[in-house]
Amino acid sequence: MHAADTIAALATPFGAGAVALVRMSGPRAVELADGVFRGRRPVAEIPSGRVVQGRIERDGVVLDEVLLTVFRAPRSYTGEDVVEISGHGGMVVAQSVLAALFAAGARPAAPGEFTQRSFLNGKMDLTQAEAVMDLINARGEAAARAAAGQLEGRLGRVVERLREELLTGVAHLEAFIDFPEEGIDPESGKVLLKRVDDLSSAVGRLLSTADEGRMLREGVRLVIHGEPNAGKSSLLNLLVGYDRAMVSDIPGTTRDTIEENLTLRGIPFRVVDTAGLRESEDPLEIEGMRRTRSHLEKADVLVRVVDAAAEQGDLQPAGREVLVLNKIDLCPGRAADGGAIAMCCLDGRGLEDLVEEVIARTDLASLGRFEETVAVNARHQQCLRTAADYLGEARHSLERGDAPELTALELRSALAAVGEITGAIDTEDVLGKIFSTFCIGK
């Protein structure tokens, strides 16, 4: 068992609700719960996993009527003895139950500390621990399903396979170190080179999921742009379903960029409404346009809004953007030109077609099969890049015919970088950084 302290926290969000869950974990969890719980029998005698009824008391005063469950080590979330107390969801009541546990000897849990203990006790690897937070923060069904898959250990297994193959490579090389006078024979050199190349492609494949991971976690960046007055803000409002942005017939209404999160068909989006690009002397408008340009560069999907009444002729979408021919109500005779989507932001006409088109443009390769998605996050990406660099060095080293121990050193460094992903090789600061972003109670 790793930690000696017994920790406690409110596991449900702050605020009033029907129930509030207080969670306690650590070697003294059962003993401390016994100090405050009054039920048919002492907590120490309650079988693991059984829900029992009782009261929480402090100094003879009843604080709440509760349901209590004991999960004994190692078969619990943290791998330690865990006691969960669900009581009435008022803020004062849950806090007083928690205070009673602190008075009995528990200490407040730090953010993510329950999950950290679970990791330290070997209940889950780091990618699974991160998935706990991804799952809590998931916006949209697609993101939730991908996080659930990671929690179930899918990414961990892929990374573990990679580690095993790296280890085999290292072992292969080290066999030569034992016989230094012979060096690596050409045949084995070829086999090793192929091994390193295969490993590089496997790392590359994982790295290529980083964009997908970012889109699922932070949302697909959809940027709306176009001439002033074309109806960009009206489109944003239509998408989010309420009057988020100011709309007026004065060109240049939107100065600053406006960002909103929304979910379309289960996929999280971050929609950005921008200031229309035009000649201007106004320093504020110039700054707004600078921001517009910077968003245009970072967009995953671009939507250009064109005023059908103001622009005639055959309009074609430029590059990969989605073209919206807006204010179609003002030009009833006009058909949507090739590739453009006819819309009216006042009555919502064309919205379904737009959503369809936008989804088709999102680069989520795994669209519709998120159960199988492996999508790395920024931290994994960094580890994988380091591993890729070392694998590149290992390749050079083999080509140069370096002493095998030098090549082995590069492979070992790649191994360490990959190991950091699951925490197989952990460094204190990696752990600190990950768990501090958690919410308390998890």
Contacts to ligand GTP by CB under 6 A: 228-234, 247-249, 251-254, 275-276, 326-327, 329-330, 344-346
User: For residues 260 and 235, is the Cβ–Cβ distance under 8 A?
Assistant: no
Q: How far apart are CA 34 and CA 212, in angstroms?
A: 48
Subset of residues 40 to 69 that bind Mg ion, contact rule: CB under 5 A: none
CB of 352 to ligand GTP, least distance (A): 15
**Using rule CB under 5 A, residue 362 touches Mg ion:** no
**Binding at 252: pick from ligand GTP, Mg ion, none (beta carbon under 5-8 Å per type):** ligand GTP
DSSP string, 170-210: HHHHHHHHTSTTT---HHHHHHHHHHHHHHHHHHHHHHTTH
Of Mg ion, ligand GTP, none, which one does residue 248 interact with (CB within 5 to 8 Å by kind)?
ligand GTP
Q: Can you point out the beta strands (E) in 7-59?
A: 7-10, 19-25, 37-39, 51-58
CB 130 within 8 A of CB 118: no
Residues 223-252, interacting with Mg ion (CB under 5 A): 232-233
Q: Which does 330 bind (CB under 5 to 8 A by kind): Mg ion, ligand GTP, none?
A: ligand GTP
Q: How far is the CB of 267 from Mg ion (least distance, A)?
A: 24
Q: 277 vs 406, which CB is nearer to ligand GTP?
A: 277
**Nearest distance, CB of residue 296 and ligand GTP, angstroms:** 14
Residue nearer to Mg ion on the CB measure, 253 or 382: 253
Using CB under 5 A, which of 128, 254, 292, 397 touches Mg ion? Answer: 254
Distances (CA, A) of 64 to 86, 92, 102: 10, 10, 16
Residue number with CB closer to Mg ion (72 or 255): 255
Cα angle 376-379-381, degrees, rounded to a multiple of 5 = 55
Q: Do 40 and 68 meet the contact criterion of CB atoms below 8 Å apart? A: no
Quote the least distance from Cβ 237 to Mg ion, whole Å. 10
Binding pattern for the stretch 175-214 against Mg ion, x by CB under 5 A and - elsewhere: ----------------------------------------
Give the burial class of 88: count Cβ atoms within 10 A of its Cβ; 0-12 exposed, 13-18 middle, 19 or more buried: middle
> Backbone dihedral region of 231: left (phi > 0), alpha (psi from -120 to 50 degrees) or beta?
left
130-158 b/e with 16+ CB inside 10 Å = b? bbbbbbeebbbebbbbbbbbbbebbbbeb
Pick the closer one to ligand GTP by CB: 198 or 256: 256
Question: Least separation, in Å, of the C-beta of 417 and ligand GTP?
Answer: 46
The one of ligand GTP, Mg ion, none whose footprint includes residue 263, by CB under 5 to 8 A per kind, is: none
Q: Which residues bind Mg ion (CB under 5 A)?
A: 232-233, 253-254
